[in-house]
Amino acid sequence: MNEENENYFIAKYVAGACKTDDLINYANYKLNNGVYSDELLDIIDAEPKCWGIVSPIFERLIAQLPSFEDSINLIIKYHLKLIASEKVDPFIQFRQLLNDINNFDLYENVAKYAGDNVGIEHLYGLYYARDDLDVNDNDGVVEISVLMQERSKKWLSEH
């Protein structure tokens, strides 16, 4: 797991997008890749394997957890980099972004549109614009995908 993926995982944890199994899988991955700590073993050995037991152990493992707001921004950046790379389906990736920030209120403190509190209002609108297309409008889907890639690049250059 490279540093960017590690930071993304920790940000998802802070944003409330992880489950107990995610933390256990994380510990297994680290141990299987030669990283050892008592906390990793404690996560694996925890009984019962439930959030209330595993989560505090995970928090002891991380030197400093980012703030909720920093985590949301990191998650957005992570997904928009992937969309901007043009190597993923923007709709699938943006859906994952929305899932990851589900505990963040995209309607709180907005100036005009949902998501403008974190600068993703255009992407949010484009994502849902697909619903207005005819079922077989592949050209429309491609056009929206390109616009999502362009908006992702713009967001990355501004943030």
* Residues 3-15 pLDDT 10s: 899 999 999 999 9
Residue 1 has pLDDT above 80, yes or no: no
* Residues 99-139 pLDDT 10s: 999 999 888 888 888 888 999 999 999 999 988 888 788 88
User: What proportion of the chain, given as a percentage, has pLDDT over 70?
Assistant: 100
Nearest residue to 159 via CA among 121, 119, 127: 119
pTM: 0.91
Report, as an integer, the average pLDDT of 54-81. 95
What does the alpha-carbon distance between residue 98 and residue 94 come to, in Å, rounded to a whole number?
Answer: 6
What does the alpha-carbon distance between residue 78 and residue 25 come to, in Å, rounded to a whole number?
Answer: 20
Residue 22 has pLDDT above 90, yes or no: yes
Residue scoring higher pLDDT (137 or 95): 95
Tell me what pLDDT residue 111 has.
85
Tell me what pLDDT residue 122 has.
94
CB atoms within 10 A of CB 67: 9
CB atoms within 10 A of CB 42: 17
What does the alpha-carbon distance between residue 10 and residue 13 come to, in Å, rounded to a whole number?
Answer: 5
